[in-house]
């Protein structure tokens, strides 16, 4: 029987492969090479296939990536489950060792220089972390509701993140937050995602409007809105989690009424900082939650009070970190993103030039190798982090939209494949892969358009370089191999 199984194994794998995903992968590789060629091309250059050019070297990276994918498909799919922790441990050790790397490239110690070859372990640690988290979460008895299980799962994610931060590569570390999308699919309460979104709102609104005064009062609009949102969000949770409409309406009436009286008094009687009233009101609301929690013994009241208290603490600590802890160049980047500073010659230069390049492409673009902004090298990192501006300039809106549609098809296809997995290991890993691709796409395209922070992460299959291309190929083809083994008869 084992011999028959081995003989029939390879045809079964080929028949079970998801060829739609492979076709999308090949299409993205082709589009990616055309974009690298356009971004690295200089006028008068006729050697786009030469290994001395980036377009020529990208062909090598693409060829080796295809070979790597083929090798993965030839492996036993059970290998990834069996050795998940070992692969994860080795990659974490490599990440830790890289912190002490003597080679610094653009202020980052995340690259290993091996002669002419440069590798970034953080790109390969993604698939290792995805395998480890899938292995842990597929163990019998695991549940997201178990606090110990959830904390260990978070630890598996945060460990490589800390190592990457130690390499001064914050952007690559933030990618690991994409695993929380998978947590949500596997049963993590939606309150965690809501808390994350709320924190972003607090930070953006609070910092952007901190120095804007409310009418004729000495009240910061940013602080006023954030504190009001904290009261509104936490009060609404009584209705969401407890279904107590009466208490929700009563508390909302107090919040709106006291706030309105304070605003009118400060505007028309004696001007004063309404934020102090908001802080006292917030303390009263939190006290109300704790009091009801003690009386009713419903833990939800304590969770809501913790959310409100944590929200206020987060906002004031974020303000302190931004103004007193962050380095000046980091603070400038955030201010540029929030529209507080333009700095077109400094921190905002990259984004400004990329926006010009994309806008100049119009509907159909300027044509292959005809982009002026990219050919004249106005956009820094235009063949790596900012390569999407080359797509926009040369291929226009139609080309850019086509690339985005391809990526969306890939992510949706990965989610579809994840749902058909017979075992939890494959489903968890698949959603990890989909989350990573979504995070890279959203942040990279967003930063090129000036919608998200410039954190320096590549666009999958487009940005020049072997590490990212190999890393994404490993992520994708391991999942394809796991999926291809779903129908195999085990002996």
Q: How far apart are CA 314 and CA 332, in angstroms?
A: 21
Position with higher pLDDT, 95 vs 10: 95
**pLDDT tens digits, 156-211:** 999 999 999 888 888 888 899 999 999 999 988 877 888 888 988 898 888 888 88
Q: How far apart are CA 454 and CA 337, in angstroms?
A: 8
Position with higher pLDDT, 174 vs 334: 174
**How long a stretch of residues is the chain?**
491
Helix (H, G, I), strand (E, B) or coil at 114: strand
User: How many Cβ atoms are within 10 Å of 134's Cβ, its own excluded?
Assistant: 26
Q: Write out the two tokens for 194.
A: 């809501």
Q: How far is CA 289 from CA 275, 298, 300, 306, in A?
A: 21, 10, 9, 9
HSE-CB at 53 with a 13 A cutoff on CA atoms is: 17
**pLDDT tens digits, 275-296:** 999 999 999 999 999 998 888 8
The pLDDT of residue 106: 65
The pLDDT of residue 419: 95
Percent of the chain topping pLDDT 90? 48
Rg (CA), the chain: 26
Does the pLDDT of residue 342 top 80, yes or no?
Answer: no
The pLDDT of residue 5: 43
Does the pLDDT of residue 11 top 60, yes or no?
Answer: no
Q: How far apart are CA 105 and CA 112, in angstroms?
A: 10
User: Measured between alpha carbons, how far apart are the two ends of the chain, in Å?
Assistant: 8
> What are the percentages of helix, strand and coil residues in the chain, rounded to 5?
70, 0, 25
Instruction: Give the start-to-end residue ranges of the domains of the chain.
Output: 13-191+332-485, 210-326
Buried b (16+ CB within 10 A) or exposed e, 30-59: ebbbbbbbbbbbeeeeeebeeeebbbbbbb
Identify which of 125-134, 196-205, 374-383 has the greatest average pLDDT. 125-134
Q: How far apart are CA 238 and CA 289, in angstroms?
A: 9
Q: Evaluate whether 178 touches 160 at the Cβ level (below 8 Å).
A: no
Please give the model's pTM, rounded to 2 decimal places: 0.84
Average pLDDT in the chain? 86
Q: Where are the alpha helices (DSSP H) in 297-448?
A: 299-320, 328-337, 349-360, 372-375, 388-419, 424-448
Q: How far apart are CA 77 and CA 56, in angstroms?
A: 33
The set of residues, in sequence order, having a beta carbon less than 8 Å from that of 130 and lying 6+ positions away, is 179, 429, 432, 433, 436, 475
**pLDDT tens digits, 389-425:** 989 999 999 999 999 999 999 999 999 999 999 999 9
Q: How far is CA 150 from CA 129, 197, 272, 433, 485, in A?
A: 15, 20, 46, 20, 29
The set of residues, in sequence order, having a beta carbon less than 8 Å from that of 5 and lying 6+ positions away, is 489, 491
């Amino acid at each position: 029987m084992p011999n028959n199984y081995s003989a029939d194994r390879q045809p079964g794998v080929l028949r079970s492969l998801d060829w739609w995903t492979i076709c999308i992968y090949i299409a993205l590789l082709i589009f990616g090479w055309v974009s690298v060629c356009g971004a690295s091309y200089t006028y008068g250059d006729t050697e786009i296939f030469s290994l001395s050019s980036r377009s020529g070297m990208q062909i090598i990276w693409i060829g080796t990536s295809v070979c790597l994918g083929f090798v993965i498909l030839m492996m036993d799919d059970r290998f990834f489950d069996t050795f998940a922790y070992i692969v994860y441990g080795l990659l974490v050790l490599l990440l830790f060792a890289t912190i002490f790397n003597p080679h610094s490239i653009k202020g980052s110690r995340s690259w290993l220089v091996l002669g002419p070859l440069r590798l970034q372990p953080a790109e390969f640690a993604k698939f290792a972390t995805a395998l480890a988290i899938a292995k842990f979460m597929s163990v019998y008895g695991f549940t997201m509701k178990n606090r110990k299980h959830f904390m260990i799962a978070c630890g598996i994610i945060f460990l490589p993140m800390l190592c990457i931060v130690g390499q001064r590569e914050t952007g690559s570390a933030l990618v690991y937050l994409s695993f929380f999308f998978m947590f949500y699919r596997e049963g993590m309460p939606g309150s965690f995602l809501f808390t994350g979104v709320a924190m972003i709102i607090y930070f953006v609104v609070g910092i952007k409007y901190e120095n804007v005064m409310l009418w004729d009062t000495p009240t910061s609009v940013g602080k006023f809105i954030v504190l009001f949102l904290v009261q509104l969000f936490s009060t609404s949770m009584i209705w969401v989690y407890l279904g107590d409409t009466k208490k929700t309406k009563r508390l909302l009436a107090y919040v709106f009424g006291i706030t309105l009286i304070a605003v009118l008094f400060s505007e028309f009687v004696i001007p004063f900082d309404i934020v102090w009233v908001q802080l006292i009101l917030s303390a009263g609301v939190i006290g109300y939650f704790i009091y009801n929690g003690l009386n009713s013994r419903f833990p939800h009241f304590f969770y809501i009070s913790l959310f409100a208290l944590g929200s206020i603490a987060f906002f004031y600590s974020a303000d302190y970190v931004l103004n007193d802890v962050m380095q000046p160049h980091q603070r400038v980047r955030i201010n540029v993103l929030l529209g507080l500073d333009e700095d077109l010659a400094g921190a905002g230069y990259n984004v400004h030039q990329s926006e010009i390049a994309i806008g100049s492409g119009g509907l159909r673009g300027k044509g292959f190798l005809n982009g002026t902004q990219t050919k004249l090298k106005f956009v820094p990192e235009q063949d790596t982090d900012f390569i999407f501006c080359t797509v926009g300039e040369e291929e226009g809106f139609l080309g850019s939209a086509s690339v985005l549609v391809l990526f969306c098809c890939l992510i949706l296809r990965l989610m579809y494949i994840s749902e058909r997995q017979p075992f939890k290991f494959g489903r968890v890993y698949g959603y990890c892969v989909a989350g990573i691709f979504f995070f890279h796409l959203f942040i990279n395209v967003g930063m090129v358009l000036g919608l998200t922070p410039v954190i320096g992460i590549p666009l999958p299959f487009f940005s020049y370089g072997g590490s990212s291309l190999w890393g994404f190929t490993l992520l994708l083809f391991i999942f394809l191999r796991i999926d291809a083994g779903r129908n195999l008869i085990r002996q």
